[in-house]
Amino acid sequence: WLIEKVKEVKIESIHLVPSLLSLLLQDGLEQCISLKKVFTIGERLPVAVQREFFRKLPQAQLFVFYGCTEAPGATFREILPNEGFGDRVILGKPQNNKKIYLLDKYKVPVPIGVPGEIFVGGRISRGYVKNNTLTRERFIPDPFTGKPGDRMYQTGDMGRFLEDGNIEYLGRTDFQVKIRGIRIEPAEVDIRVTEHPSILECVTVAKEDASGDNRLISYYVRNKQAQPLKENELSEFIRKRLPEYMVPAAFVAIDKIPLLFNGKIDRKSLPDLEIVGSRISEAAQGSVLEKQLTDIWEEILDAKQVSRRDNYFELGGNSLKVLRLCQRIKSDLDKTVSVAEVYENPTIKNLAKLLQDEKRGERFSHFFGGASGQTPI
């Protein structure tokens, strides 16, 4: 409907949230040849969407506002077609009627290049209607102007100042999660996934598995004109760009990112972990050893339908569960394997092949001084 209206009225300028812009680019926005300026606000604008925009609407300019209902239009900049589509999200510089502060947890300004939470001063909202508690929490006195009554708004966004005065967006404080004890920003995973030429959009969230551990799940929308993805292609792609603890346990293809009524991403409507875990996977076939390893994996990982080619870490394995695996292989199968060998052979097929290598046993025993009765960690 919106595309038809733009064509009918010959609209030249339009404001959209990035997730809605992405959806329209998939549904024929290139037909809107009257468009000259497109403004985005409210969310991070993925690199893949920028790339698609300039490919389909070469006649139009693309602008990004940073702000929210409480403090609209805090920064503004034009994204140029020749920027190179780097992986950083640059918000621009503060508008004339706004003040931007990047503060640490003690509300102290951070140096250039150091991450901090974004606070906006200047012309901001008065507060929330009939919610004085939340107003006092988010709209706090501005100690940097020296004027009584001045306030600033705590956005919940993270960023850092660059040398040229621009602000780089680093994600939401409330979306940060801990994986294996390390705090990460899922938006960074989104950025890396959308660097793949076949991926148009991505949303990464953390969900608890049956054992209570957080696992990263990346939901992606594939570019319909791109080549189909090969098995494990995204996992291998991300492993070259991010540390192991930031590699999602699963990549889930969906037709479109679910949106709220205001056009922002509806994370609660993404498939839950049980749905993700019920994917059809080939049953472990082959040797008796492979089937024994499958039983151990399924018990430790609390997983079902584990296949010979499934990756231990993509199913929720971590360093502690690797230790448990080494101990179970020793106690149940009377075979010895090191932590390093599990990392190098993370599938049942490869691990079974390793354990069946008779010459490996001699090399292993010699390397560890003949202490074959111990589990090396």
pLDDT at 7 over 80: yes
pLDDT at site 142: 95
Q: How confident is the model at residue 10 (pLDDT cuts 50, 70, 90)?
A: very high
Q: What counts of helices (H) and strands (E) characterise the chain?
A: 12, 15
The answer as to CATH 1.10.1200.10 being correct for domain 288-367 is yes
Could you tell me if residue 66 is left (phi over 0), alpha (psi between -120 and 50 degrees) or otherwise beta? beta
Identify which of 30-39, 264-273, 359-368 has the greatest average pLDDT.
30-39
pLDDT at site 181: 60
Q: Which of 43-57, 140-154, 166-180, 214-228 has the lowest mean pLDDT?
A: 166-180
Task: Mention every residue, 6+ apart, whose C-beta is less than 8 A from residue 77.
Answer: 63, 64, 90, 91, 92, 93, 166
Report field, pTM of the whole predicted structure over 0.85: no
pLDDT at site 317: 82
CATH of domain 176-277: 3.30.300.30
Choose among 124, 99, 102: nearest CA to 111.
Answer: 102
Mean pLDDT, to the nearest integer, of 199-217?
79
pLDDT at 291 over 90: no
pLDDT at site 124: 92
pLDDT at site 143: 94
CATH superfamily for domain 93-175: Luciferase; Domain 3 (2.30.38.10)
- b/e map of 295-316 (b: 16 or more CB within 10 Å)? ebbeebbebeebbbebbbbbbb
Q: Which of 265-269, 294-298, 310-314 has the lowest mean pLDDT?
A: 310-314
Tens of pLDDT, residue by residue over 85-135, are 456 778 889 888 889 999 998 999 999 999 899 999 998 999 999 899 999
Mean pLDDT, to the nearest integer, of 257-283?
65
pLDDT at site 211: 55
pLDDT at site 303: 74
Crossing angle of helices 288-301/348-355, nearest 10°?
Answer: 130
Mean of all residue pLDDT scores within the chain: 82
Ranges assigned E (strand) in 209-324: 214-222, 250-253
Q: How confident is the model at residue 218 (pLDDT cuts 50, 70, 90)?
A: very high
Tens of pLDDT, residue by residue over 322-373, are 888 999 999 999 889 999 899 888 888 889 989 887 555 554 444 444 444 4
CATH of domain 1-66: 3.40.50.980
Residue 89 or residue 190, greater confidence: 190
pLDDT at 175 over 90: no
pLDDT at site 157: 87
Query: What residues does 184 pair with on adjacent strands?
Result: 177
Residue for token pair 């929210």: 68
pLDDT at site 368: 42
pLDDT at site 255: 86
Residue 68 or residue 377, greater confidence: 68
Percent of the chain with pLDDT over 90: 27
Domain ranges of the chain: 1-66, 93-175, 176-277, 288-367
H-helix or E-strand containing 178? strand 177-179
Task: Mention every residue, 6+ apart, whose C-beta is less than 8 A from residue 20.
Answer: 259, 263
pLDDT at site 373: 41
Question: How far, in whole angstroms, is CA 275 from its chain's centroid?
Answer: 19
Mean pLDDT, to the nearest integer, of 195-201?
89
Mean pLDDT, to the nearest integer, of 26-30?
86
pLDDT at site 106: 92
Q: Which of 128-132, 219-223, 241-245 has the lowest mean pLDDT?
A: 241-245
Choose among 236, 242, 231: nearest CA to 308.
Answer: 231
Q: How confident is the model at residue 282 (pLDDT cuts 50, 70, 90)?
A: very low
H-helix or E-strand containing 153? strand 151-161
